Amino acid sequence: MPPDISPYDALLLVSFGGPERPEDVLPFLENVTRGRGIPRERLEEVGAHYHLFGGRSPINDLNREFLHAVEEDLRSAGIHVPVYWGNRNWDPYLSDTLARMAADGVRRAACLLTSAYSSYSGCRQYRENLADAVAGVPDEPVVDRLRHYFNHPGFVEPMVDATLAALADLGDATRRTAHVLFVTHSVPRSMNDTSGPHGGAYVTQHLAVAEEIGERIRQETGHRYPTELVFCSRSGPPSVPWLEPDVNDRIEQLADAGAAGVVLVPIGFVSDHMEVLYDLDTEARATAEKAGVEFARAATAGLDPRFVAAVRDLLVERAAAERGREPTRATVGGQAASWDVCPVGCCPNPRGPRPALCGGD
């Protein structure tokens, strides 16, 4: 018998979005930064990163591929539900997708965010955008967010294998002494301090993933590599403290201390979008080359079948919980499975409260 996913009759993939033509770049960045007072000169500076890749972010193509892989995985398990996709900041916009879902007769949809961790920008802001999207839709579907999956084996285990593969890419003389840097998107310290229901969840969750991967690597290689969490893609004013160290600064520090090689493991990203292609593969690689440090970058979970299958597992798990069952919640590492419904006050909007779906407030 196929898994029971009632009461859900659709799955919704919610992502950040990205430009697909050079003329889309500035309008996209204006969408992303609206209300934050970012000067146009800064937007043009960031836009130059996209133009290095033809003015096209890879994220939409990656989401299309991921959506098709999820559809195929669900069908192979006997689950026949439509899979929709909507973006916060570019076409297909969430509002258009929710309107199409309502027109198609969808009544209740489970929602997967392409962000694995707790924070305002990684969770509540998506929930606010969902609330905005349904506001003008007659007979809008009920939308439930699937839990954070940072410690789901379908996410962690591909990252373990990717780290081992990246280590293998280093030269024989460098591999044993390499430093493993787990990389995620920097956020303001205040945002981390208020993330999750009790604060600090953003960093705590990343550290749990880094510790688990590091231990798996030790078990596989018989060697404990030096590991640490570093950050990329800071975008705020210098007066606002953000999470540190920056990946480039840390590479330079390690080089000064005599390190011969680094492996970057992008645990904060589920696919190779712009922060990975530019901030890591372009900028951090150039930093390592200038410092004389051998560089390797682990793959993201992307289209790994284990990550694709994790979506099905999360859907079946949440459906069982909604039917009053006690589902088995797959996790690895020291953290418990995350909550289904975001608690009151979880990851608050730093600019003041706004309506949000999928939570207690």
pLDDT digits (tens, 9 = 90+) for 65-101: 999 999 999 999 999 999 999 999 999 999 999 999 9
- 255 located within any domain: yes
Task: Categorize the per-residue pLDDT at 136 as very low, low, confident or very high, splitting at 50, 70 and 90.
Answer: confident
- 339 located within any domain: no
- 220 located within any domain: yes
Average pLDDT over residues 324-334: 96
The total domain count for the chain is: 2
Share of the chain above pLDDT 90, in %: 93
Tell me: do 89 and 118 sit in the same domain.
yes
Average pLDDT over residues 18-27: 95
Domain extent at residue 95: 10-149+303-322
Q: What is the pLDDT of residue 208?
A: 98
Q: End-to-end alpha-carbon separation of the chain, Å?
A: 37
Which pair of structure tokens corresponds to residue 116? 């694995």
Average pLDDT over residues 129-149: 95
Integer CA distances (angstroms), 1 to 78, 80, 186, 308, 356, in order: 8, 13, 44, 21, 36
Tell me: do 271 and 186 sit in the same domain.
yes
Q: Which tens digit of pLDDT belongs to each residue from 142-171?
A: 999 999 999 999 999 999 999 999 999 999
- 361 located within any domain: no
How far apart, in whole angstroms, are the C-alpha atoms of residue 356 and residue 361?
7
Tell me: do 179 and 288 sit in the same domain.
yes
- The answer to whether residue 194 scores a pLDDT higher than 80 is yes
Q: What is the pLDDT of residue 45?
A: 87
Q: What is the pTM of this model?
A: 0.96
Q: What is the pLDDT of residue 35?
A: 75
Q: What is the CATH number of the domain that holds 21?
A: 3.40.50.1400
121 contact partners, CB below 8 Å, separation of at least 6: 185, 187, 191
> Is pLDDT larger for residue 111 or for residue 236?
111
Among 195, 235, 191, 260, CA closest to 45? 235
